[in-house]
Structure 1
Amino acid sequence: MTDLTTSPAARVPLADVSPAIALGPLDGRYRAAVAPLVDHLSEPALNRERLLVEVEWVIHLTRTGVVPGAPRLSAAEEDYLRGVVTTFGADEIARLGAIEKVTVHDVKAIEYFLKEHLAAAPDVLGADTALPAVSELVHFCCTSEDVNNLSYALMVRGAVTEVWLPAARALVGEVAAMARQHRDVPLLARTHGQPATPTTLGKELAVLAHRLGRQLRRVEGAEYLGKLNGATGTYGAHVAAVPGADWPEVSRTFVEGLGLTWNPLTTQIESHDWQAELYSDVARFNRILHNLATDVWTYISMGVFIQIPVAGATGSSTMPHKVNPIRFENAEANLELSSALLDTLASTLVTSRLQRDLTDSTTQRNIGPAFGHGLLAIDNVRRGLRALAVDRDLLERDLDANWEVLGEPVQSAMRAVSVAGVTGMENPYERLKELTRGKRLTADDMREFIGGLGLPADVAARLVELTPATYTGLASELVDHLRD
């Protein structure tokens, strides 16, 4: 018998298996849920946006005529350049990778890759094309960070507006729909885990939908900043190359032409403050969603929500009866991972030593996982919510077993009539405390107490008719404050 502690058996090296095995779950087990982010936040997506920035910079320079002698490109030539971006796929990724193995510099590889396409332009457009002549306008007066900051802004904007926000809006819409559906369903509240003033299930869901919606609106209002001003933010190379040009204006119109907000004052890097603001807002959305997941999990454990079994699914490997709330537990874990990454991004990206250090380079490569774990959580919560039903009978039994919660309205009514001059209403709180604290009351107990207080007839009649199920105040109407 082999002793595995001293001589483990030879194994297949999994790192050599083809196709490559994902190291993390986002690119493995959960790939389907986060795949839309690959188009925005993957390494190839970054390189595609870098290509876009380099291409648009060449077009901008030739259109503005800022560099003396540079030819104006035709529409066909501009289309050819932009086609380098739109056709960027597997073959181009491989070619770019081969170039980077030589340059050992990712942005320089982009420059050389684009120059190859400019050199090949005569084969497509004819020998008289001007594209080879503008080859040195590729990366003209740019530092790598001029390209990178704009690329990341475009990537993050695309990921947020085209992937994350639609998923988050759909989630909030579904929570709001549940709130409206259960608008009038009475629910025994629990403050500090103890029976408390009844509410409605719809109102409690509406609170969460409202909180999430506020954060969505903050994210929707995010600014995506960009800069193009050279190695230390001074336009030094620009002015040396073409002294008479209004380079800040050229920069502003270029950045704004990409749909970004121009940042006029930077070091070598764009300061990343907008990223910190955005990631803090997304992390706050995550934490509110985490609160929703833990509340729903708790309601499931209490029996308020019944989970609808999925045919063929296994709840427990040994206990056949179980339907585990895995969607909400999975969401909790992924929200914690996402928020931790977003917090790190937000706290570290705002610092760069003097005019530049490279800490942001590695940090920003984790934007994808930060959003990936959050998107996965949103997907899990949405799927979990769709598999819930409400046990109305349990809610009714729970309310009917806790008549002592009516101590609050009775003592409040006693206070009100006391102020109006009705006698015999002294120490209302203390009297209800003595009656209810730590005790279970029946409907008869409460009604008998109310009948012996000497309240005005109309007040007594109103209180006698009150039940835990009807003592929900304006909870139903409050749901109507939800925004569409």
Structure 2
Amino acid sequence: MIDSRIFGHLWSTPESHSIFDEDARVRRWVDVLIALAQSQAEIGLIPTKAAEEIAELAQCDLPIESIAEATRTTGHSTLGLIQVLQGLLSPVAAPFVYYGATVQDITDTSQVLELAATGALLWRDLRIIEDRLLGLAVTHRTTPMAGRTHGQLGSPIPLGFKMASWADQIGRDLSRLDDGRERWLTGQFGGAVGTLGFFGGEGLPLRQAFCRRLGLAEPAISWLSARDRFSDFASAAAIAASTLARIANEVYGLQRREIGELGERPAARTVGSITMPHKRNPENSEQIVTLAQLARAQSALLTDALVHEHERDGRAWKLEWSVFPTLCHSVLTAASLTKALLDGLEVDPRAMARNLALVPASEHLLSLMSERLGKHVAQQTLQQAYRRAAEDRLSLAEALEGVATSDELEAIANVDLGSGPEMVDRVVAAARMRRQSEPEDWR
């Protein structure tokens, strides 16, 4: 579905393809090889002229089909790439491409760079989403609607309270990305089993130069079989996608015609149903929920890769080659669709007032009657009155006649938002303070 020309826009974005399409991934491998050659020349391991020629590969059109054919012929993950690159180099430089490195040095470091690119886009989008939610929370700070518990109408809340809760959770998603950045953006260069034995005493200086050139942290120890960095990022990304799904799921539910409180604005040419012309299907909402389900599943698979045998285990490590890009496509697409959802979010205060009127203010009334009767007696009295009102088709005031005081009966019509508006203020203030010291760019 990600590569489908018909449906791909629902499962990926142009930006996610710019990271994970095959041309981009092979190009990134070559960039890592160039950084390796330059680092080796820097400390005198290979001739400077060889490194300079290898660096010119950045300008070459890479023959992907030739690399694919050579990979199938050799049965090795990167030997086909090596052979094709050697064919593009002179005899002076050809022996020094991929010099002393192993597959994981290149693919792991490339995957870290993919993580960095994905994290930067996710960081940008989450900040945009948070900003829009904060604005909506302020706008609807006192817009009353029915709160709901167990899927049923409950006490009143401000719509802004719901949106501030979403924004507050996005803020924690951003904090997780911020906290993990230094752990995740770490280069990999270990050689055959992680000891850099090929390079003798130059191994650690080479690794330092290699990581510096790529803008990555240098690890204390090679991490060929320690896969927690990718799993950790995947968990944070899947949680963020699930936050977006929480938002979308609410819009999906509140868009039902019989509720009609929120809705996603369809594009002018969008068709909800070819058999039921009245329908406006919540396309973005349901797709975000689906993408988050995929992200959680991919995150769980990446956790499986943590169980690694010895110093290299293709059974676990190569799992990431398929799973990690799918996770990133899913998360970035969910973020993109959420931005569109919020841009076109429709709010209907009249529908909110209509639905809120179906349940007179039970929590506020319970509080007032508890002062006179005690909480438990007041709760039992009100529960009986609500049941009688439903069974006998009475208003709550009629059902409470002779039981409640005049002040208590007057309170039935009041909409008490509790401390909801003040909590909105706190979320907005805390987020804006955090954003003042937060970098605009993730990396």
TM-score, normalised to structure 1's length? 0.77
Q: Which has the greater radius of gyration?
A: 1
The equivalent position to 1:361 in structure 2, one of 296, 305, 318, is 318
2:254 matched residue in structure 1: 299
Task: Please state how far the C-alpha of 1:442 moved relative to its aligned partner.
Answer: 4.3
**SS at 1:140's partner residue?**
coil
How many Å separate the matches in 2 of 1:154 and 1:94? Answer: 24
Task: Please state how far the C-alpha of 1:472 moved relative to its aligned partner.
Answer: 0.4
Residues 246 and 296 of structure 1, relative CA distance in 2, 3 Å threshold: same
How many Å separate the matches in 2 of 1:214 and 1:356? Answer: 35
2:105 matched residue in structure 1: 146
2:233 matched residue in structure 1: 278
Residues 468 and 328 of structure 1, relative CA distance in 2, 3 Å threshold: farther
Q: CA RMSD in A?
A: 3.1
The equivalent position to 2:87 in structure 1, one of 108, 116, 124, is 116
The equivalent position to 2:306 in structure 1, one of 350, 354, 358, is 350
1:311 matched residue in structure 2: 268
Task: Please state how far the C-alpha of 1:88 moved relative to its aligned partner.
Answer: 4.8
The equivalent position to 1:434 in structure 2, one of 362, 368, 384, is 384
Residues 205 and 235 of structure 1, relative CA distance in 2, 3 Å threshold: same
Q: Counterpart of 1:348 in structure 2: which amino acid?
A: D
Q: Which runs of 5+ in 1 are unaligned?
A: 1-23, 120-131, 240-244, 454-459
How many Å separate the matches in 2 of 1:51 and 1:164? Answer: 25
Task: Please state how far the C-alpha of 1:234 moved relative to its aligned partner.
Answer: 1.7
How many Å separate the matches in 1 of 2:375 and 2:273? Answer: 57
Identity of matched residues, %: 22
Q: Counterpart of 1:176 in structure 2: which amino acid?
A: L
1:136 matched residue in structure 2: 95
Matches within 5 A, 1:2-401: 24-32=1-9, 33-65=12-44, 67=45, 70-73=46-49, 78=52, 81-85=54-58, 87-89=59-61, 91-119=62-90, 133-161=92-120, 163-222=121-180, 223-239=184-200, 245-266=201-222, 269-301=224-256, 302-308=259-265, 310-345=267-302, 347-359=303-315, 360-401=317-358
Q: Runs (4+) of structure 1 moved beyond 6 Å?
A: 423-426, 446-451
Higher relative contact order (CA 8 A, sep 6+): 2
Q: Which runs of 5+ in 2 are unaligned?
A: 433-443
Residues 198 and 158 of structure 1, relative CA distance in 2, 3 Å threshold: same
How many Å separate the matches in 1 of 2:25 and 2:375? Answer: 73
Task: Please state how far the C-alpha of 1:285 moved relative to its aligned partner.
Answer: 1.6
**SS at 1:29's partner residue?**
coil
More deviation, 56-65/332-341: 332-341
Given that 2:145 and 2:356 are in contact with CA atoms closer than 8 Å, whether structure 1 keeps it comes out as: yes
Aligned length: 418
Residues 391 and 424 of structure 1, relative CA distance in 2, 3 Å threshold: closer
Residues 98 and 271 of structure 1, relative CA distance in 2, 3 Å threshold: same
Task: Please state how far the C-alpha of 1:299 moved relative to its aligned partner.
Answer: 0.7
**SS at 1:105's partner residue?**
coil
Q: Counterpart of 1:252 in structure 2: which amino acid?
A: Q
Given that 1:331 and 1:381 are in contact with CA atoms closer than 8 Å, whether structure 2 keeps it comes out as: yes
How many Å separate the matches in 1 of 2:31 and 2:384? Answer: 74
